[in-house]
Structure 1
Amino acid sequence: MLSRDIQKRYAENEKYLAATAKFRQRFNREKNMMNQRKTHHIYSCPGCGQKIRIPKGKGKIEIECPKCHTKFVKRS
């Protein structure tokens, strides 16, 4: 049975969330990427490494990086 000291439980929860934040963020990011893989290709810019999401099924397209404006050609 849990204590009714709400302030202590709140502090415990904050400590737990802070300890697991890095893991939860990484897991959520990977989960998001897996869901997007069905409808989009995700490419990295050869110039700056920025990840760019391109819709599938558009054929061979020229992609311009929104960050560094490098242009490169990939299949979607």
Structure 2
Amino acid sequence: MLLNKIKQIPIGYSEVEYLDKKYGVSRTDFNNGKSIKIYAEELGGNNFISLNYYITASSESLKPCEMPEAKVTHFLKHYKLKS
């Protein structure tokens, strides 16, 4: 489920809504899509989300960047893409 939500974020820059606030999100894919970097920053605020997601032949791994995994998974499950 998390990978589906990650892949819904377009590569490059986009904007999403999370907890009734607007976030600027950057998605960068590496290694033919086997490594994904997401950085989201609250526009006009000070909250941010940062993560890496790795896909190998045997597993998938979410690696939050210096924040609790629960914060990252909550963001991924609840953001809404802006049109």
After TM superposition, the score normalised by the length of structure 2 is: 0.26
Structure ranking higher in helix proportion: 1
Report which structure shows greater RCO (CA 8 Å, sep ≥6): 2
Structure ranking higher in strand proportion: 2
